[in-house]
């Protein structure tokens, strides 16, 4: 009896997790709106996240330390674009979805592994 | 709100790493004591959610954009320490793979969104929602208010860190050495767009997802 109730509980849990991943999937598919809508309204990036060129335009100069530190790290998919991707909104949109999928897979994978490692000594009770 | 490399001087970004690392250590220690293996998928989904919600840039008058973070929501559903880890990993991956936020600023960005954002949101939610059952509509209101205040607090922290730079870091000739704008510019610019728009987006997202869990998976709301 206990065994069956446990399995029902697991089944229900798996179903709820599946539904949540579907929700994430829908958000991923919609994510290009996050660049299309700002582009439509002619909005640039976030306030305070300008490139060196933009800083020069806004402030009239590029601070020395900023010049030195700004390019300390070269991200492989800067600005959520696949390296070598084509120009135009279609390419940007596809590149955005692809990089968001990669980012989520890596993020969720690391958090999942980390959680498994941190939880390895603990039992099966359900408090966090 | 993802501060890039080159905006904060070493004194600031070093301090922010020093402040944030203990929170990562305590979070790992807490989860090591309490987390169950079966909860791992929920943590992964929480991290995935904060990642994807930050992709929805919303334009605001003045030509800039902003976004929600989901920090309060993840804290409500998974607890604050799990949320610290989930949101931090999302921010670190955004910095390393996509250059969204600087690597020198990981400490600052994680403190603003994954530590302060999480604990302020969680604390306010717990106060307003105290004593309510899983289906109480006060939980939705509490989540919305907490999320609104939490995102604004994160933005204010980022604005203060940016605005302090001209005071802290000057070249010999007196020019700003890193982020060039004073507090009188950074704070109003970031506070206004979050007070008038992005805070409400964060509140709406949080309220909607709490409503979803009340309907489909109420045990997540304790």
Q: Is residue A100 part of a domain?
A: yes
Closest B-chain CA to A79: B98
Closest B-chain CA to A116: B37
Structure tokens at B102: 């600087």
Q: Is residue A48 part of a domain?
A: no
For residue A2, what pLDDT is reported?
A: 28
Neighbour tally for B207: CB within 10 Å: 21
Phi, psi of B64 (to 5 degrees): -110, 180
For residue B142, what pLDDT is reported?
A: 98
pLDDT in tens, A3-61: 333 345 778 888 999 999 999 999 999 999 999 999 999 998 999 999 999 999 999 99
Asked if B3 reaches chain A (Cβ–Cβ under 8 Å), the answer is: yes
For residue A6, what pLDDT is reported?
A: 37
pLDDT in tens, B176-210: 999 999 999 999 999 999 999 999 999 999 999 99
Parent domain of A102: 76-128
Is pLDDT of B54 > 60?
Answer: yes
**B99: chain A residues, CB-CB within 8 Å:** 73-75, 77-79
User: Of A120-124, B173-177, B198-202, B213-217, where does the model show the most confidence?
Assistant: B198-202
Tally the domains of chain A. Answer: 1
pLDDT in tens, B105-148: 999 999 999 999 999 999 999 999 999 999 999 999 999 999 99
What stretches of chain A show up as alpha helix (H) in DSSP?
2-30, 33-40, 52-59, 64-69, 89-119
For residue A124, what pLDDT is reported?
A: 54
Q: Which helix (H) or strand (E) holds B209?
A: helix B199-216
Q: Is residue A32 part of a domain?
A: no
Closest C-alpha among A23, A127, A124, A2 to residue B219: A127
Residue A112 · residue B31 · CB < 8 Å = no
- ipTM tops 0.85: yes
**B104: chain A residues, CB-CB within 8 Å:** 69, 72
**What sign does the dihedral B194-A61-B178-B95 (CA atoms) show?**
positive
Calpha distance B97→B80 (Å, rounded): 26
B24-34 mean pLDDT: 96
Q: Is residue A25 part of a domain?
A: no
Parent domain of B124: 10-221
Q: Is residue A82 part of a domain?
A: yes
Asked if A22 reaches chain B (Cβ–Cβ under 8 Å), the answer is: no
Q: Is residue B5 part of a domain?
A: no
Neighbour tally for A74: CB within 10 Å: 7
Q: Is residue B1 part of a domain?
A: no
The count of residues in chain A is 128
Calpha distance B72→A32 (Å, rounded): 24
Asked if A54 reaches chain B (Cβ–Cβ under 8 Å), the answer is: no
Q: Is residue B2 part of a domain?
A: no
Residues contacting A27, CB < 8 A, separation 6+: B49, B52, B53, B55, B56
Would you call B79 helix, strand, or coil by DSSP?
A: coil
Strand pairing category for B58-60 and B64-66: antiparallel
Rounded to a whole number, what is the distance in Å from the CA of A9 to chain B's nearest CA?
A: 12
Residue A52 · residue A68 · CB < 8 Å = no
Long-range pairs, A113-119, Cβ under 8 A, ≥24: A114/B43, A114/B85, A114/B89, A115/B31, A115/B35, A115/B37, A115/B39, A115/B40, A115/B43, A115/B44, A115/B85, A116/B37, A116/B40, A118/B28, A118/B31, A118/B32, A118/B35, A119/B31, A119/B32, A119/B35, A119/B36, A119/B37, A119/B39, A119/B40
CATH number at residue B192: 1.10.1760.20
Distance set, CA A87 to CA B136, B163, B217 (Å): 49, 35, 43
Residues contacting A43, CB < 8 A, separation 6+: B57, B59, B60, B63, B64, B65
Q: Is residue A3 part of a domain?
A: no
**A11: chain B residues, CB-CB within 8 Å:** none
Q: Is residue A112 part of a domain?
A: yes
Q: Which helix (H) or strand (E) holds B141?
A: helix B137-168
Q: Is residue A22 part of a domain?
A: no
Tally the domains of chain B. Answer: 1
Q: Is residue B187 part of a domain?
A: yes
Structure tokens at B139: 């939980």
Q: Is residue B23 part of a domain?
A: yes
Calpha distance B118→B96 (Å, rounded): 22
């Amino acid at each position: 009896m206990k065994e069956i109730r446990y399995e029902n509980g697991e089944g229900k849990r798996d179903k709820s997790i599946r539904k949540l991943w579907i929700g994430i999937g829908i958000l991923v598919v919609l994510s290009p709106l996050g660049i299309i809508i700002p582009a439509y309204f002619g909005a640039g990036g976030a306030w305070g996240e300008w490139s060196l060129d933009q800083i020069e335009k806004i402030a009239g100069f590029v601070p020395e330390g900023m010049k030195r530190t700004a390019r300390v790290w070269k991200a492989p998919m800067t600005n959520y674009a696949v390296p070598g991707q084509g120009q135009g909104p279609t390419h940007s949109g596809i590149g955005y979805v692809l990089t968001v999928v990669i980012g989520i897979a890596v993020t969720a994978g690391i958090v999942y592994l980390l959680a498994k490692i941190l939880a390895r000594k603990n039992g099966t009770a359900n408090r966090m | 709100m993802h501060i890039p490399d080159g905006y904060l001087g070493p004194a600031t970004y070093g301090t922010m790493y020093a402040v944030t690392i203990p929170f990562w250590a305590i979070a790992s220690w807490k989860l090591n004591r309490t987390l169950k293996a079966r909860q791992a998928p929920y943590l992964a989904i929480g991290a995935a959610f904060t990642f994807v919600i930050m992709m929805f840039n919303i334009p605001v008058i003045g030509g800039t954009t902003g976004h929600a973070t989901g920090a309060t929501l993840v804290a409500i559903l998974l607890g604050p320490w799990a949320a610290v880890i989930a949101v931090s990993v999302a921010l670190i991956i955004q910095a390393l793979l996509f250059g969204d936020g600087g690597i020198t600023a990981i400490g600052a960005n994680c403190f603003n969104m994954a530590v302060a954002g999480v604990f302020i949101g969680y604390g306010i939610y717990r106060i307003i929602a105290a004593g309510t059952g899983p289906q109480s509509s006060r939980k939705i209101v509490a989540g919305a208010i907490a999320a609104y205040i939490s995102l604004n607090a994160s933005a204010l922290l980022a604005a203060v860190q940016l605005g302090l730079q001209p005071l802290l870091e000057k070249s010999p000739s007196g020019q700003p050495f890193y982020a060039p704008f004073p507090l009188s510019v950074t704070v109003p610019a970031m506070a206004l767009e979050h007070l008038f728009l992005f805070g409400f987006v964060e509140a709406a997202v949080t309220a909607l997802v709490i409503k979803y869990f009340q309907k489909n998976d109420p045990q997540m709301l304790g």
